[in-house]
A and B are shown apart, each in its own frame.
With several copies, the nearest count.
Chain A
Amino acid sequence: MKKVNKVAFCMFATLLIIIIGSLYPARADDFIETEKVTKAIDNIWVLLSAFLVFFMQAGFAMVEAGFTRAKNASNIVMKNLMDFAIGSIAFWLVGFALMFGKDMGGFVGTSGFFLKDNFEHLQLNIPLMSFLIFQTVFAATAATIVSGAMAERTKFIAYCLYSAAISLLIYPIVGHWAWGGGWLSKMGFIDFAGSTVVHSVGGWAALIGAAMLGPRTGKYSKDGRVNAIPGHSITLAALGTFILWFGWFGFNPGSTLSGLDEKIGYIAINTNTAAAMGANAAMIFTWIKYKKPDVSMTLNGALAGLVAITAGCAAVNIIGSAIIGCLAGILVVISVEFIDKRLKIDDPVGAVSVHGVCGAFGTIMVGLFATETGLLYGGGIKQLLIQATGAAATFLWTCATIFVLFSIIKGTVGLRVSEEEEVEGLDVIEHGTTAYGDFVLKP
């Protein structure tokens, strides 16, 4: 029933119900039924999507473990596990309220800490708890991105503290701006599933973290030479990439928050097309650049396409998706090299490039390719400026807060293990274990 008909309906409702009341008890049930059904469809859609997004944690763990060395593999999977475990609790108690509580000045939510107040202002069509689990897995995605960039040298305790802080505060604030009724959403900022809100936040945090930590021992020679430190399992990295791609089908189409939304298939195909083009582009580009198609870069390319399309997956069409994915696949290669060789920031898995750079890139591209408001479709430059504003504001906020956070951690528990510990490996030093007890490892 449409809203415009509501007034008319209400006027006659009394009369009608009197007449039909005794004869027609099921009639009202029928309405309830319809509402219940549509709610249920939305609910299972959101929940199943949330489960898929949860599974991305496994994907991150495998990609990050695969791209780093065997002596740190237990440590990296432990970090991936714990950022989710810590983040889930932090987000439930505090982060969710900051993100979706009643808006204060467009900047932050202020109600619902410990889930105490109600969240009626959100006008959710699904139960609050379903919304909470969906948002929790998103928050955890932002958090987990950083572990890869800071891999192989960060103190475990430092990482745990960081995890709590990003889920508690840093991510929810940006989330509020764009999705919780904050200033960016009021401005018309389009970040459908979180190229900026989730991925850029994670990516920029990774950038600052990796820069403050310094490179892994042996990454840069004294004479300035850049040494490659290959990962220990390309098969696990590939598995992780497939898992992420799979989970992304929850991430993007699920962000409709409604299974009744006819766009969900459209979003799925956009997501897939961008990922495929990202992989294709990265493969061809590295083939030309290095004479051979680089496996790890191609895996990154697929992820770059996914990250880049996340903002615009509901706003651009399939051609737009293909172009955005293709550009992201090239951009990620250039960015990885630039960060590695020019900035000399050591990001073992390419998290900054994939999530930070391609997240911002994808967000801005919406200003060009959005079929309703994009520059290339005659929408003028407005959307583009809004997109750029959102990307820039997120960059500034994340860098600033993460810098403060890591400075505090550095000054207290310390950020980095000693060189000796790094050489021996974090698994033994931090956890008293080795990941591969039975295998003979190279020196």
Chain B
Amino acid sequence: MKKLECILRPEKLEEIKDALNQLGFHGMTVSQVLGCGQQKGKTEFYRGAEININLLPKIKLELVVNDSEVEKLVDTIIEIARSGKIGDGKIFIYDVHDAIRIRTGERGESAITEF
């Protein structure tokens, strides 16, 4: 199993979620993060003082999937998430040692298989 950790633009979330659902992936975990990278934040004025907003709101989408499904998912996500402008984000892929479904105690791939 692999974990896909995708750092994305917040406004893309809904669309990606829909696309994944259509591919049959319903399980995922989402969190708010702040990203820093080549995408430059804005310099704003607050009461006359400059303020550098260099931590930009991003979405982290975590998906644990079977090894065989990684490429298909990566392609789908890239397709939707890409705007071509700096700041589109990254996908990091990690090995997963094991997975357990709390409700049933199933382990391994069956823990992430839906019925």
Residues of A within 8 A of B (CB): 218, 226-228, 230, 286, 289-292, 294, 296-297, 333, 336-337, 340-341, 350, 423, 428, 432-433, 440-443
Contacts and interface: CB of A to CB of B under 8 A. Distances in A.
A347 to B, nearest CB: 10
Main secondary structure of the interface of B (DSSP, over half): strand
A296 B46 contact: yes
9 contacts: A226-B50, A297-B47, A333-B48, A341-B48, A423-B11, A432-B45, A433-B44, A433-B46, A443-B13
B27 interface: no
B32 interface: yes
Nearest to A297: B47
B46 A442 contact: no
B47 A336 contact: yes
A428 B42 contact: yes
Interface residues of B, number: 18
A294 B45 contact: yes
B78 to A, nearest CB: 19
Given A228-B51, A441-B57, A290 B45 contact: yes
Contacts of A440: 32
Contacts, number: 59
A218 B44 CA distance: 18
A226 B45 contact: no
Contacts of A227: 49, 51
B81 interface: no
B59 interface: yes
Contact of A230 (B42, B48, B51, B59): B51
B10 interface: yes
Given A230-B46, A296-B47, A432-B46, 17 more contacts: A228-B47, A228-B49, A228-B51, A230-B51, A290-B45, A291-B45, A292-B44, A296-B46, A297-B47, A297-B48, A337-B48, A340-B47, A340-B49, A423-B11, A428-B44, A433-B44, A441-B57
Contact of A443 (B44, B53, B57): B57
Interface in B56-91: 57, 59
Nearest to B10: A443
The CB with the most chain B CB atoms within 10 A, among A230, A336, A337, is that of A230
B3 to A, nearest CB: 20
The CB with the most chain B CB atoms within 10 A, among A290, A341, A441, is that of A290
A227 to B, nearest CB: 7
A226 B45 CA distance: 11
Contact of B59 (A341, A350, A443): A443
B45 A292 contact: yes
The CB with the most chain A CB atoms within 10 A, among B10, B51, B57, is that of B51
A25 to B, nearest CB: 61
A320 to B, nearest CB: 28
A441 B48 contact: no
A291 B44 CA distance: 10
B65 to A, nearest CB: 22
